[in-house]
Amino acid sequence: MDKRKIEELIAKAEELYKRWPRQRLLRFLSDTRLAACNDARLYKLKGMVLRRFKRFKDKKPLKEAINAFTEAIKLEPNDPSLYRERGETWRRMRDRKRALKDLDVAISLNPKDPDSYVVRAQVWLAFRKYKESTQDFAAAIRLNPKKPRPYYARRVLWRQLRNQTNEIKDLAIALRLDPKPIAPMYVYLGDLYYRKKKYSLAFEQYNRAMDMDPTVYLSEVDSVQVNMFNATASLNDGQRRKIYEACIPISGFIATIRDLTDPSFAENHENILKPVVHFTKLPVADILLSSDENRFRFYHVSYMNDPQEGKILLQILKDPAIEESYSASSRYEESNFYIGSFLPATLADELVMWRTYGKDETESEAKGCSIIISRKFFDEESALSQARQDVQGGLKSRETKRDKTSRTQYDTQLHKVIYYDKKNNTLLGVGVSKGDEIMKELRKLRFRLRKIIDRFKESHEKHLAINRAIDRLVYSVITEVSYYFKSSDYRYEYEERVILSVPPKSPLVKIEEGTYLPKRLYVEARSPIRKHIKKIVLGPRVVHPERWSYLKVKMIKDNNDLELVKSSTKFQ
């Protein structure tokens, strides 16, 4: 093969490597093509691709990577990068002696390559040779002090030596130097500060992480604690610390309430595998069925139908001081919550639902549709969160009592709505025992909030900043849990919800396109919903329902089953 052709193949392979479709790149780097080109660079690329495969049960990809690097070395025996890459692969295979041998060769060929020193330092670290590891890390940093990799790697050394101060220092430097830092690293740095009770620094890192990625997994704290601390932003560090430490138990109360509204832990298990229904407009159904690129939308809470939405919790708590603080802050605080509302599939063709929710774009009743959705859709959404937690598993500092529950802002798990019977002061919709448990947690929440208000709020004008901070904190806490509650007037709906907390500056928050004002805010689901839509019921007042049969044809052509029916409800 001529040189020009080889260079073209190498350029294409390098481009594929940047975009990272691994299977396609491995097919491109076939043994036949590599043998025909006989170029070390292609063998090196193949080795690097194989080495980056994760979660394999055996070491086959790593062994194949070793073979690829070995072939490259035969062609270019004086290229130090090849020995370094093979040494890194030996390290991952835990063959430390061979790793050291290759890395020694790499450094002898190019003593000014910081990456070789970093890898060798990591091998020394695996041997618990801390002195040698420290020297190699220092050499790497001396050669290139503006490269983040040595600082990232050296933090593991400091962690093993239990030198938390240096671990914080190195991770902070690495994040400052890294042009593309990842959110979990900010979380890890926040955890280090948090354990030292440097709360302002800790929550600064958590906020950076959550701004970058609202789905990021938090280990030391949860999003409730982050929001509570943010509510006191106008105060000095000493004041914030006192108030925050008084608030810590609150996140536990809220986590318990959320767990008790999980349908999979309901006393009656017969409904947890049954599908749910969502009422919407027909153009929305068309969009969702058109492509997997079109995702289900969770809309801002301000667009909910119930005028009492978010206010029932205050009726349950029955505390004037809490209500006063909430009301004082609600005048200038914006809610960051987004909701998806779902009902049992048995209500997909009920008259009252068509009147309330089955409207079209002109708000005409019963001219919309109901979409029946498999619960597997929500399982996929939750699985994405779990996958992210698995990726961050190595960063988690320790197990905590609440590690079993979702600890991200982007919690796409379904939760049962709790209905409040004001007359009897009872909670319905989750079973008697769980209703009693939730009421118990709410009493704890009320006691803790009232204690914070009584301790920190004062009437004197010089306390105005603290009073406003406490009002914001109370508002933050109430909104965290208020959308789980509705009046028992809606008990017949048996509603379940996805409740998301996403800050306005997050890239996940989008503004609906179109000319209709006011435009609506929404957050998209991360996984496609189309394959989970099993049935669509056209509203009883839909004109020419037969003209919507193309929706079924569209799904059949894509090898998806869909039942499309007209409502059997008589609308008057």
pLDDT number for residue 21 = 60
pLDDT number for residue 544 = 93
Q: Following DSSP, what letter does each residue of 170-184 receive, concatenated?
A: HHHHHHHH-SS--HH
Residue with tokens 């063998």: 43
Q: Following DSSP, what letter does each residue of 58-98 receive, concatenated?
A: SSHHHHHHHHHHHHHHHH-TT-HHHHHHHHHHHHHTT-HHH
pLDDT number for residue 156 = 95
Asked whether 527 and 380 are in contact (CB, 8 A), the reply is: yes
* Cα first-last separation, the chain: 79
Q: Which residue(s) pair with 537 in the sheet? A: 370, 565
H-state helical runs in 422-499: 432-456, 464-482
Q: What is the 8-class DSSP label of residue 497? A: E
Q: Which two tokens stand for residue 126?
A: 């695996």
pLDDT number for residue 387 = 47
Collect all residues with Cβ–Cβ distance below 8 Å to 97 and sequence separation of at least 6. Answer: none
Asked whether 216 and 183 are in contact (CB, 8 A), the reply is: yes
Length of the chain, please?
Answer: 572
**pLDDT tens for each residue of the chain, 572 residues long:** 677 777 777 777 777 776 666 677 777 777 877 877 888 888 888 888 888 775 555 678 888 889 989 999 999 999 999 999 999 999 988 899 999 999 999 999 999 999 999 999 999 999 899 999 999 999 999 999 999 999 999 999 999 999 999 999 999 999 999 999 999 999 999 999 999 999 999 999 999 998 888 788 888 999 899 999 999 999 999 999 999 999 999 999 999 999 999 887 555 555 567 899 999 999 999 999 988 899 999 999 988 878 888 899 999 999 999 999 999 998 888 888 999 999 999 999 999 999 999 998 888 999 999 999 999 998 876 655 554 444 444 444 333 333 444 455 677 889 999 999 999 999 999 888 999 999 999 999 999 999 999 999 987 766 789 999 999 999 999 999 999 999 999 999 999 999 998 888 888 899 998 878 889 999 999 889 999 999 999 999 999 999 999 999 988 888 888 899 999 998 87
Q: Determine the Cα–Cα distance for residues 479 and 301; give it in Å rounded to an integer.
A: 11
Domain boundaries, the chain: 250-393+406-566
Give how far Cα 381 sits from Cα of 354, 386, 413, 499, 540, Å. Answer: 28, 9, 8, 13, 32
Among candidates 520, 501, 508, which has minimal Cα distance to 335? 501
Q: Determine the Cα–Cα distance for residues 262 and 256; give it in Å rounded to an integer.
A: 10
pLDDT number for residue 248 = 95
CA dihedral of residues 432, 433, 438, 441 (deg, nearest 10):
140
Among candidates 465, 480, 471, 213, which has minimal Cα distance to 335? 480
Q: Is 514 left (phi over 0), alpha (psi -120 to 50) or beta?
A: left
Q: Which two tokens stand for residue 81?
A: 């990068």
374-408 burial string, b = 16+ CB within 10 Å, else e?
Answer: bbebbbbbbeebeebbeebeeebeeeeebeeebbb
CB atoms within 10 A of CB 412: 26
pLDDT number for residue 402 = 38
Q: Which residue(s) pair with 485 in the sheet? A: 418
Residue with tokens 């990021």: 216
Among candidates 289, 416, 258, which has minimal Cα distance to 344? 416
pLDDT number for residue 12 = 76
The type of residue at 38 is N
Q: What is the 8-class DSSP label of residue 417? A: P
To which H or E segment does residue 46 belong?
helix 40-51
Q: Is 520 left (phi over 0), alpha (psi -120 to 50) or beta?
A: beta
Q: Determine the Cα–Cα distance for residues 96 and 395; give it in Å rounded to an integer.
A: 24
To which H or E segment does residue 428 belong?
strand 426-428
Identify the burial level of 87 via C-beta atoms within 10 angstroms of its C-beta, where 0-12 means exposed, 13-18 middle and 19 or more buried.
Answer: buried
Asked whether 25 and 17 are in contact (CB, 8 A), the reply is: yes
Provide the angle, in degrees to the nearest 10, between the axes of the packed helices 237-260 and 464-482: 20
Collect all residues with Cβ–Cβ distance below 8 Å to 507 and sequence separation of at least 6. Answer: none
